[in-house]
Amino acid sequence: MNILVIGTGGREHALALAASKSPQVDTVFCAPGNPGMAQFGTLVDLKSSDIKGLADFAQNNGVDLIIVGPEDALAAGVADEFAKRSLAVFGPTKGAAQVESSKDFAKSLMKKYGIPTADYQTFHDAESAKAYVEEKGVPIVIKENGLKAGKGVTVCVDDVQEALDAIDIAFSIPGNSVIIEEYLEGFEFSLIALVNGDLVVPLECAQDHKAVFDGDKGPNTGGMGSYSPVRKITPELVNTAMETIMVPMAKALKAEGVPFTGFLYGGLMVTADGIKTIEFNARFGDPEAEVILPRLESDFVQALLDVMNGVKPELKWTSKTSHGVVLASTGYPASSTKGVEIRGLDDVNGDVYHMGTKLQDGKLVTNGGRVLMVVNLADTLEEAMKATYDDVAKIEKNDLFCRSDIGKKDLDGYGKK
């Protein structure tokens, strides 16, 4: 088989690497890919936004399966174009991708179909949004409605002014709207499922760390690190999440005339009132893909093909723990650096996923906010954490930084007095 993976970041690196390990696969095309993916795949100079160009390439190069990574391509209708040309694509249509591209769409579906989530209201002007915040007080959560690459969310715990400022920022963008949510407290985890209509197959859980600084401080990012499995998330909790959240959402999308095929991401929280939904995404998580897929021992491509054919795949997982830390550009998420040389990767023992890199004059340099993710597998979370942070120490940190506490909240006794 020939596989086409669309995208350029760490998630796509992980998807392409998993696909390349399938005995059924001859060539993995990566459009546009990154320097790390070039080690096992064939890079194609096509942006994920070039929908016609990607479809033409797939038709002209005998591509048997397309795996879509980034949400912006899905929201723009890339899967619709492939389907129109009878090309096999694992990714939702533009209509189904609204579960991520419109938070208001997702929240209204959750409300309509009784899927547990935080109470909310949607606002289309700053004045009424601010009045609502001043009435409700803090803690409260402000979410911009559209695609924000994992950002656009402000959690205001004890400062009303922070919420009012977030509303001003949101409405400085023409046509923007905001969802103002009840603040939820609990233990977060990511549950990603392979979905085709009514068929919903859970993958192993992971936990993402979205805040930029240690202790979950600072603004939200696309994700600063993750690990899998999550010891505090028992099989019973996963079953409950599947029965009350993941399967109902897949059925809701089908009932609304926009059946979902692809990776359905549930950002979930275990609260005192049970499991609730923080958000849905229409694609694999990043940085979750980089820690979940290395634990998959069965054929990734066959699993996708089975789901697309309405067959529940037999998934086999290693019992080892996968742990990963993101190295980001100084100033991220507000800004990023480009062109700074990256040194020390040859000394790393674990796997390195490229998130924002490029080759410049034969040297590997930074090219974005999140730059690299270092991942290790080990028998325990503690061992995996040590291996990853030992590797991180070997990489020169010119204009790079990382969190030092990825995984700590799942350690026994952490946070207890």
pLDDT digit string, tens, across residues 232-255? 999 999 999 999 999 999 999 999
Taking the C-alpha atoms of residue 90 and residue 313, their distance in angstroms, rounded to an integer, is: 15
pLDDT above 70 for 37 = yes
Q: What is the DSSP string of 127-190?
A: HHHHHHHHHH-SSEEEEESS--TT--EEEESS-HHHHHHHHHHHHTSTT--EEEEEPP-SEEEE
Residues 161-167, mean pLDDT to the nearest whole number: 93
pLDDT above 60 for 398 = yes
Q: Which residues contact 377 (CB under 8 A, 6 or more apart)?
A: 294, 295, 318, 320, 321, 322, 350, 384
Domain extents in the chain: 2-91, 119-182, 187-308, 321-410
CATH number assigned to the domain with residue range 321-410, chosen from the 4 options 3.30.1450.10, 2.120.10.30, 3.40.50.2300, 3.90.600.10: 3.90.600.10
Q: Confidence band (pLDDT; 50, 70, 90) for 282?
A: very high
Q: Confidence band (pLDDT; 50, 70, 90) for 416?
A: very low
pLDDT more than 90, % of the chain: 91
Least confidently predicted of 8-12, 152-156, 182-186 = 152-156
Give 321-348 as a 3 state SS string: EEEEEEEEECCCCCCCEEEEECCCHHHC
pLDDT above 90 for 408 = yes
pLDDT above 50 for 417 = no
- The phi, psi pair for 14, rounded to 5°, reads -65, -40
Residues 363-389, mean pLDDT to the nearest whole number: 97
Taking the C-alpha atoms of residue 349 and residue 376, their distance in angstroms, rounded to an integer, is: 8
Strands (E), 16-119: 27-32, 42-43, 65-68, 89-90
Taking the C-alpha atoms of residue 170 and residue 409, their distance in angstroms, rounded to an integer, is: 31
Does this chain's domain 2-91 share its CATH topology with 321-410?
Answer: no
pLDDT more than 70, % of the chain: 98
Report yes or no: 18 and 69 within 8 Å, Cβ to Cβ: no
Taking the C-alpha atoms of residue 54 and residue 82, their distance in angstroms, rounded to an integer, is: 9
Residues 294-300, mean pLDDT to the nearest whole number: 98
Read off the pLDDT of residues 114-127 as tens digits, 9 standing for 90 and up: 999 999 999 999 99
Q: Confidence band (pLDDT; 50, 70, 90) for 151?
A: low
Residue with tokens 């350029």: 8
Q: Which CATH class is domain 119-182?
A: alpha beta
Fold of 2-91: Rossmann fold (3.40.50)
User: What's the chain's Rg over C-alpha atoms?
Assistant: 20
Q: Which CATH architecture has domain 187-308?
A: 2-Layer Sandwich (3.30)
Taking the C-alpha atoms of residue 380 and residue 57, their distance in angstroms, rounded to an integer, is: 43
pLDDT above 50 for 3 = yes
- Report the pLDDT value the prediction gives residue 320, as an integer from 0 to 100: 98
pLDDT above 80 for 100 = yes
Residues 60-86, mean pLDDT to the nearest whole number: 97
Residue with tokens 């990489």: 395
Least confidently predicted of 109-118, 187-196, 216-225 = 216-225
Residues 373-399, mean pLDDT to the nearest whole number: 96
Residues 58-70, mean pLDDT to the nearest whole number: 98
Hey, what are 68's tokens? 């879509």
Is the Cα torsion angle 243, 241, 380, 14 positive or negative in sign? positive
From the number of C-beta atoms within 10 Å of its C-beta (0-12, 13-18, 19+), residue 63 rates as buried
Q: Confidence band (pLDDT; 50, 70, 90) for 371?
A: very high
